[in-house]
Amino acid sequence: MNSEPEFTWKEAKQVAEEVVFNKTGKHLSDVETIVLQGSWSGKTYEEIAEMYGYTADYLNKDVGQSLWRKLSDASGEKVSKKNLREPLKRASKEQQRTWVALNAPLPASPSVKELPFPEGSVPLDSPFYVERDGIESLCYNAIVKPGALIRIKAPKLMGKTSLITRILAQCQSQNYKTAYLDLSSVERSIVTNLEKLLRWLCLMVGRQLKLENQLGDYWDTEILGSNDNCTVYFEEYLLPAINCPVVLGLDEVDRVLPYSEVIEDFFGMLRSWHEKGKISEIWKQLRLVMAHSTEVYIPLDINQSPFNAGVPVELPEFDLKQVKELARLHQLNWNELQLEKLMGMVGGHPYLVRLAMYDVGSGRVNLEELLREAPTEAGIYSNHLRRYLEMLPRGSELADAFKKVVASPEPVELDSMQIYKLHSMGLVQRQDNQVRPRCHLYREYFRRVF
């Protein structure tokens, strides 16, 4: 008859270490391990103290009581000096069941101490990039088509730049040439002047393609306008010099939108390039990827706007499956209830979810404390929330509109421009012609501060 394998001290120590670390982000101290091992062996505090040179009172009241509290909290059941064997044994079995349920070892990603802080785009070599169902493959398939145009639309911090980076990397793997330009970094003196903006565009693309600056030979200010000069530079110099598909990623094109003196010509030119790609062999080489925040309200003729052409890609929030995958990558053995609690506060917002998992995974806070403090100045989102507060000064028309939204349990109807601005900022979700707060975090915080 098969008997159950002996549960050894080595296994018990490992289980205790893991459950405490998963709960607190901290390892057992040396003296806690001494107390645990002595208790496992049936020794009294006096015997342990005599062996290791401590006082029995210190081991009992200062070390032991704290240790049993930690183990009780971490394992979910009462653990004491007298009954520690069975709770640790059950915790070991629970870990084995979790392992089987995950059907995989913990990922070959950075250890908890090496978790990268979630800021900016997710690097190409990072294991923390989670794909949205079908979106990446849609982009990879679209960009290889001659004259392609992809429009990525989402509020800030939703992953637009990370997706562009992967599209460009996919293209590079097929020996395409790529150039990436972040328009948010362009100086105001350039972005408000069409001539400067288009010369900047030509110069920066040429540099990334490792081509010599030939603007002086192609830019004719006496006869041609800025759009024509820029188009000629691409058509007669940049594209022929490369003689292979060129993918141009334009990030944060919203930067141009406030400036009426450039938007019509700039975006009209991009649309014309896309149209040329349908008939001209040289322009078929150019593929465009543009990223912007939500809807774009600009006074462009429908046939001149790039925002109603090409392949539209709207980035949704992560769903439960994707949030669960992120938890796995952060080495957090959360159950579905814990995942749903986090999503109840921040939805599936990639940045807010990752920031929570970073703090919990790094041992800074546990999930319960994080959620309790989330909408307050003491919470991990305080900087993020204050930035929004600065963008919505009290008494402004937009602040008053959002105040109505967070105060109402039902979706609220606003005028189209208010909806556009709040949605572009990522503060609301749309339901038909009405809006509600993007997540519970924003409702709770702004209901308090407004």
Q: Is the pLDDT of residue 154 over 60?
A: yes
Mean per-residue pLDDT for 278-307? 82
- Where b means 16+ CB within 10 Å and e means fewer, 347-372 reads bbbbbbbbbbbbbbbebebbbeebbe
DSSP-H helix ranges across 152-237? 160-173, 188-191, 194-208, 215-218, 226-233
∠ CA 379-381-386, nearest 5°, is 110
Q: Are 286 and 147 in contact (CB under 8 A)?
A: yes
In terms of Cα–Cα distance, which of 93, 80, 76 is closest to 22? Answer: 76
The helix/strand/coil state of 201 is helix
| Fold that domain 135-314 belongs to in CATH | Rossmann fold (3.40.50)
pTM check: above 0.85: no
3-class DSSP string for 19-79: HHHHHHCCCCCHHHHHHHHHHHCCCCHHHHHHHHCCCHHHHHHHHHHHHHHHHHHHHCCCC
Q: Token digits for 356?
A: 């929570």
The helix/strand/coil state of 247 is strand
Q: Is the pLDDT of residue 15 over 70?
A: yes
pLDDT in tens, 436-450: 999 999 999 999 988
Using alpha carbons, list the distances in angstroms from residue 26 to 87, 273, 354, 399: 20, 57, 20, 42
Please report the sign of the dihedral spanned by the C-alpha atoms of residue 77, residue 355, residue 326, residue 372: positive
Residues 6+ apart with CB under 8 A from 95: 15, 18, 19
Mean per-residue pLDDT for 87-103? 64
* Domain assignments of the chain as residue spans, ordered by start: 9-102, 135-314, 320-449
The helix/strand/coil state of 128 is coil
The gap from C-alpha 355 to its chain's centroid, in whole angstroms, comes to: 8
Q: Which helix (H) or strand (E) holds 253?
A: none
pLDDT in tens, 366-412: 999 999 999 999 999 999 999 999 988 878 899 999 999 999 999 99
Mean per-residue pLDDT for 20-30? 76
